[in-house]
Structure 1
Amino acid sequence: MEKAQLVFVPAPGMGHIVSAVEVAKLLLTRCHQLSVTVLILNHSSINSKVHSYIESQRASSSIVSTRLRFIDLPKDETELLSFFSFVNSQKSHVKEAVLKITQSDFVSSVDSPQLVGFVVDTLCASMIDVANEFGVPSYIFFSSGAAFLGFMLYVQKIYDEEKFDPTELKDSDAELQVLSLINPFPGRVMPSAMLSKDWFPSILDNIRRFREANGIIVNTFLELESYAIESLKMPPVYPVGPILDMGSDGRNTHKEIMRWLDDQPPSTVWSSILVVTAPTGTSGLLASPSDYEDPQEVLPEGFLDRTTGIGKVIGWAPQVAVLGHPAVGGFVSHCGWNSILESIWFGVPIATWPLFAEQQFNAFEMVVELGLAVEIKMDYRNDSGVIVNCDEIERGIRCLMKHDGEKRRKVKEISEKSRRALMEGGSSYSYLGSLIKDVTDNLS
C-alpha cells in the first residue's frame, strides 16, 4: 500500500503537546501505512517538562516510534506581543521544515510517504496557510471538549453577525442560548480569555480559521458529549477520545507519595493530598507552574503539623498515577480538560475550582450540563482578587465525599463508557477509522 505522512504542529505546552502526540500514536497504531512528523515550535515559555517529555518520546522503543519523529524548529528571538503573533512568525520555519522532509524522503526512497495533511493545534489555526501552500488538507486538533468548541464557534458567529461583545458580560447575570449546550449559559462563567480586550480579537481570528479546516479532531467521546457533538455540523468533527497519556504508575518517580496512598483505605473521605506549586513568573497561554523549595512559606503556620497523618503536601504530582489509585475518592480540580478526562477515566468525581482559560466553562459543563461534578466556586478566576472561603471549600468537598452518591454512580458509569469508546466497535474507535479513511483518501 502507498505510504502517507501527516505533519503535526502542536502548541508547545504540556496540556497540548502530550494529547497531540497521543493522537498521533493512535493513528499510527491503527494505520500501518501512516507516518507522523511532529514539529516543535520553539517558544520562549517552553519549560523543562516539555523538553523532557519530547526527549522521552524520541528515546521510545515502541512499535510506532519508528514512524513517529520530532523536529525542533529554530528559536525566534524576536520580541512578540502575543502567542498568536508568535505562531504567525513560525510559518516560514514550518514551511522550510516540511520542504526538507518531503525532499529528503523523496531522495532517500522510491517508496517514500506522501504528504497528505497537516494536523494543527487549537491555538495554531493560522498554520492552515502553510498546508494550503503544500496543497494538502488541514485538520484542527481541539484539545478541549465538543461543547466548548461549539461555544467558541457560537461566540465568533454572533460577534461577526450581531457585534456581540463577550467582554461586556463579566460578572453579568445575562445568559446565552448556546447551540452546543442544553442549558442556558451564564455570563459569569464566561472563559477568562474571552473577557480580555487584549486577547479577544486574536482569539476570534483564530476561531474563524476553524471553519476552513477539512475536519476537527476533538479530545472527547460521544457518550460524554452526545448533545454537543451532534450540534456541530461543519466542518466534520471526529471525537476520538479520551486521549490520555497513561505514562508510568509513579512507583519509580514518586515512591513516597505512592507508598502513602497504599496506606490509605479505598475512596478515603478526609485524608488528602495537597499539591502546592509556585507561579511561573511569566504570563501567557503556555505558562507552567514550578515547585516551591519549601512549601511552608505559603502555608498557614503549623499547617503541616496539624495535618500529620491525615494529609500529604507535595509539589508537582504524577496526576494519572494518583487518580488511578484506589485510595482516591475525590478530586478538587481546576477543570482543565485533560484533568477532567483523566478523572472520568478512573471514575473519580470532581469538585470544581476553575482558575483561567476555558476552565470556568468546563466547570459549568461538568456541574450543570452533565451532572458529573459538584461546585466549590464555578465562576472563580485566579486574577479576580476574590478569596474562596473555607466554608465554600468544606461544603463542596463534603458534598463530593459524603452526600452525593448519585454523582459518584454517574461518574463510575461514564468511566466504563469512556473505556468502551476506545475499544474495537466503540464510538471513538469508529470515528478514528473515519478520520484515517479521510486522510488516506488524500493519497494521489
Structure 2
Amino acid sequence: MHNEPLAFRMRPKNIDEVAGQQHIIGKDTALYRMISKGHVPSMLLYGEPGIGKTSLAYAIAGTSHLPFIALNATVSGKKDVEQVVAEARITGKVILFLDEIHRFNKLQQDTLLPHVEKGSIVLIGATTENPFHDVNPAIRSRCGEILQLNRLEPDDLVVLIERALLDEDRGLGKMKIGMNDSQIRKIAEGVNGDARKALTLLESIISASDEEEGKVIVEDWLIDNLIGRIGLVGDKKGSHHYNLLSALQKSVRGSDVNAAIFYLANLLEIGDLIAVSRRLLVMAYEDIGLAAPEVGPHVLAATEAAVRLGMPEARIPLANAVIEMCLASKSNSAYKAVDAAVKAINDGKTGDIPLHLRDTHYAGAAELGHEGYRYPHDTPIGTFGGWVNQQYLPDKIKQAEFYEPVHAGEEKRLAGIYERLKEFRKEK
C-alpha cells in the first residue's frame, strides 16, 4: 500500500520519461544533449501549476546522477540554504531545486549566489509567475536558460495515464482495472493540460469505483462527476490571470467572438469580476474608441450592472458587452494621439502657451498681453457649430499633428471634419 499520492510516485526518473514539453527536453534539443552528456546548466522553469516543472527537475537530477535537494522559497530560511552550500562543498556539485523561486529573499540570495556563479550549485528554479516580472535579476542573470513550459496535450496525458496503469512498482499495475481507451481519453481531455490533476483524478476514480471479482470496474458517470469538480488553473493574482486578460483583449481587438467569450468565461470562473470589468471598460475606449463612440457608455452600463448583480448573473451583461465590442468598428487613434503628445512633452518638444489662450479672469491680464482670443461660438460654420481660424498650439510646435484618424465606422465622419478643418487653417 502506497502512502504517497500517485502523482508523486509517477514523477519521471529520467528525461526520457518526461511527458510532453518536447520543445524543451525532446531528444533533438540542446538541453537534452547537454544533460545526457552530464552537463546541467542552471535554469528557470516557468509555467502554470501541474504541467511538470517539478517533474522535469527530478528527471534532470535522475539523468545526471548529481545529488539533489528540493526547497520551497516560501518556507526555506538562511539555514536551509547554508545546508545546501555545505552539501556542495562535500560532494563537489549539487542540484538545488527551488520551487516558488520568485519568493527568494535577498539574504538567501547572498548566501547562495556565489556558489551558483562558480558552478558548485546548479540552480533549477520553478515559478508560476513571469520570471521577467517577479524573479530577482540577480537570479535571472545566473540562470543561462529560462524555459517556458506548456500545458500538456491530451496525447501526452494519455501516455502518462497508461504508464501509471501499467507500472507495478510506482503505479497501479498490480491492480486489475477495467478502464477502456475512451475513458482514458476522457480523463486526458478533462484536466486542462494538468498532469498532476490527471493522475490525481485517475487515483480518485479508481478509489471510488466498485470491484467485481477482484477487478475494479470504472463507469463513465463517475469520471464525468469527478471531472466536473476539477477547478480551473489559475488565480486572481497569478501570471495566468493576466495572460487571460491579455488574451481576452487581443481576441476582442481581433473581432473573434468565440475566443473572446471563451476567455471571458475562464476569467469569470476564476472569480475576479472587478478586474474583468475594469479591463472591458479600458478596451471600449482603447480598441473601439472613436469608430463606435456609443460602445464606451454601453460597456460602462454593462460593467456597473455586472458588479451590482454579482455572479452568476454578471456573466450576462458582460457577455453582451464583449460581443458588441468584438463586432464593433475599431479605432485606437485617440489613445495613440495622447501618447504621441506625452512623448513630445517628454522629448522637450513644447513651448509657451500663446498669449491669447492664457487665463484672463483677473485684473491686469491685459497688461500682460493676455488678450486677443476670439470666441468660436460667435462665428457659426454650417451645422458644425462655431469655429474661427486661430492658433492654439505653442509657436515652437504649431505644425505638430498627434491625431491620425482611422477611417472606420463613425470615425470616418469625424476624420472628414478633421481634414476639412485642416484645409480651413491653410487658408489663413
Q: When the two structures are superposed, what TM-score results if normalisation uses the length of structure 2?
A: 0.28
> Whose strand fraction is larger, Structure 1's or Structure 2's?
1
Structure ID, larger Rg: 2
Work out which structure has the larger RCO, using CA pairs closer than 8 Å and 6 or more positions apart in sequence.
Answer: 1
